[in-house]
Amino acid sequence: MSFESGQIELDEVVRAFHIVWGEYPGNVLLVRKDRTVVAVNKMLEKAGGTVGSKCYSKNGSLCPWCKANEMFKKKVAVREVTKAHGLVFDSFWIPTPIEELYIHFGNDITQWVKPELL
Protein backbone atom coordinates (compact mmCIF):
# COMPACT_ATOMS: atom_id res chain seq x y z
CA MET A 1 0.00 0.00 0.00
CA SER A 2 1.01 3.64 -0.03
CA PHE A 3 0.85 6.77 2.10
CA GLU A 4 -1.63 8.25 -0.39
CA SER A 5 -4.20 5.51 0.20
CA GLY A 6 -3.90 5.88 3.96
CA GLN A 7 -2.63 2.34 4.24
CA ILE A 8 0.92 1.38 5.02
CA GLU A 9 2.25 -2.05 5.77
CA LEU A 10 4.79 -3.02 8.41
CA ASP A 11 7.21 -4.39 5.82
CA GLU A 12 7.20 -1.01 4.05
CA VAL A 13 8.16 0.77 7.27
CA VAL A 14 10.87 -1.79 8.02
CA ARG A 15 12.24 -1.44 4.49
CA ALA A 16 12.24 2.37 4.78
CA PHE A 17 13.91 2.10 8.20
CA HIS A 18 16.79 0.09 6.71
CA ILE A 19 17.13 2.47 3.74
CA VAL A 20 17.28 5.57 5.94
CA TRP A 21 18.94 4.28 9.13
CA GLY A 22 20.89 1.20 7.99
CA GLU A 23 24.28 2.92 7.78
CA TYR A 24 23.74 5.47 10.57
CA PRO A 25 26.90 5.55 12.73
CA GLY A 26 25.02 4.94 15.96
CA ASN A 27 22.49 2.48 17.35
CA VAL A 28 18.97 2.92 15.96
CA LEU A 29 15.87 0.83 16.72
CA LEU A 30 12.40 0.52 15.25
CA VAL A 31 10.21 -0.39 18.20
CA ARG A 32 6.58 -1.34 18.92
CA LYS A 33 4.58 0.44 21.58
CA ASP A 34 5.02 -2.63 23.83
CA ARG A 35 8.82 -2.10 23.44
CA THR A 36 9.40 -5.10 21.17
CA VAL A 37 12.21 -4.41 18.71
CA VAL A 38 11.02 -4.70 15.09
CA ALA A 39 14.28 -3.70 13.34
CA VAL A 40 17.80 -2.56 14.18
CA ASN A 41 20.38 -0.83 12.03
CA LYS A 42 23.71 -2.44 11.13
CA MET A 43 25.65 -0.86 13.99
CA LEU A 44 23.21 -2.10 16.63
CA GLU A 45 23.07 -5.53 15.01
CA LYS A 46 26.87 -5.76 15.31
CA ALA A 47 26.56 -4.72 18.98
CA GLY A 48 24.11 -7.56 19.66
CA GLY A 49 20.74 -5.86 19.17
CA THR A 50 18.12 -8.40 18.15
CA VAL A 51 14.72 -8.23 16.54
CA GLY A 52 12.02 -9.63 18.81
CA SER A 53 13.72 -8.62 22.05
CA LYS A 54 12.52 -5.79 24.28
CA CYS A 55 14.39 -2.52 23.74
CA TYR A 56 15.28 -2.47 27.44
CA SER A 57 16.40 -6.12 27.64
CA LYS A 58 20.02 -5.25 28.48
CA ASN A 59 18.82 -3.04 31.38
CA GLY A 60 16.36 -5.59 32.77
CA SER A 61 13.49 -3.10 33.07
CA LEU A 62 12.10 -0.04 31.32
CA CYS A 63 14.65 2.76 31.12
CA PRO A 64 13.81 5.56 33.57
CA TRP A 65 14.68 8.18 30.92
CA CYS A 66 12.43 6.66 28.22
CA LYS A 67 10.16 9.21 26.52
CA ALA A 68 8.23 6.79 24.30
CA ASN A 69 5.01 7.21 26.29
CA GLU A 70 5.30 10.99 26.02
CA MET A 71 5.85 10.68 22.27
CA PHE A 72 2.77 8.48 21.88
CA LYS A 73 0.67 10.86 23.98
CA LYS A 74 1.80 14.01 22.12
CA LYS A 75 2.04 12.29 18.71
CA VAL A 76 5.24 14.21 17.92
CA ALA A 77 8.94 13.47 18.13
CA VAL A 78 10.50 13.93 21.56
CA ARG A 79 14.11 14.90 22.22
CA GLU A 80 15.84 14.61 25.59
CA VAL A 81 19.43 14.74 26.78
CA THR A 82 19.85 11.65 28.95
CA LYS A 83 22.56 10.10 31.09
CA ALA A 84 23.06 6.35 30.91
CA HIS A 85 25.93 3.96 31.50
CA GLY A 86 28.30 6.82 32.36
CA LEU A 87 27.61 8.59 29.04
CA VAL A 88 25.45 11.52 27.95
CA PHE A 89 23.12 11.02 24.99
CA ASP A 90 21.10 13.37 22.82
CA SER A 91 18.13 10.99 22.53
CA PHE A 92 15.15 10.92 20.19
CA TRP A 93 11.82 9.07 20.03
CA ILE A 94 10.17 9.57 16.63
CA PRO A 95 6.69 8.37 15.59
CA THR A 96 6.16 6.53 12.30
CA PRO A 97 3.16 6.29 9.94
CA ILE A 98 2.16 3.11 11.79
CA GLU A 99 0.85 4.47 15.09
CA GLU A 100 2.18 1.64 17.25
CA LEU A 101 5.77 2.00 15.99
CA TYR A 102 8.51 4.49 16.72
CA ILE A 103 12.18 5.04 15.96
CA HIS A 104 14.58 5.49 18.85
CA PHE A 105 18.21 6.49 18.93
CA GLY A 106 20.62 8.50 21.01
CA ASN A 107 23.84 10.17 19.95
CA ASP A 108 26.71 9.99 22.42
CA ILE A 109 27.58 13.63 23.16
CA THR A 110 29.69 12.98 26.26
CA GLN A 111 32.86 14.49 24.79
CA TRP A 112 31.08 17.82 24.26
CA VAL A 113 29.51 18.06 27.73
CA LYS A 114 31.17 20.29 30.31
CA PRO A 115 32.78 18.13 33.02
CA GLU A 116 30.79 19.83 35.79
CA LEU A 117 27.57 18.64 34.15
CA LEU A 118 28.60 14.99 34.13
Tell me what pLDDT residue 59 has.
81
Q: Are 31 and 102 in contact (CB under 8 A)?
A: yes
pTM value?
Answer: 0.88
Torsion of CA 29, 32, 36, 38, to 10 degrees: -50
Tell me what pLDDT residue 88 has.
94
Q: Compute mean pLDDT per 10 residues along the chain, 118 residues long, and list them.
A: 59 95 97 97 96 91 93 97 90 95 96 80
d(CA 90, CA 41): 18
Closest residue by Cα to residue 84 from 101, 104, 102: 104
Given the candidates 3.60.21.10, 3.30.1490.20, 3.40.50.10160, 3.30.450.20, the CATH classification of the domain at 10-117 is 3.30.450.20
d(CA 93, CA 106): 9
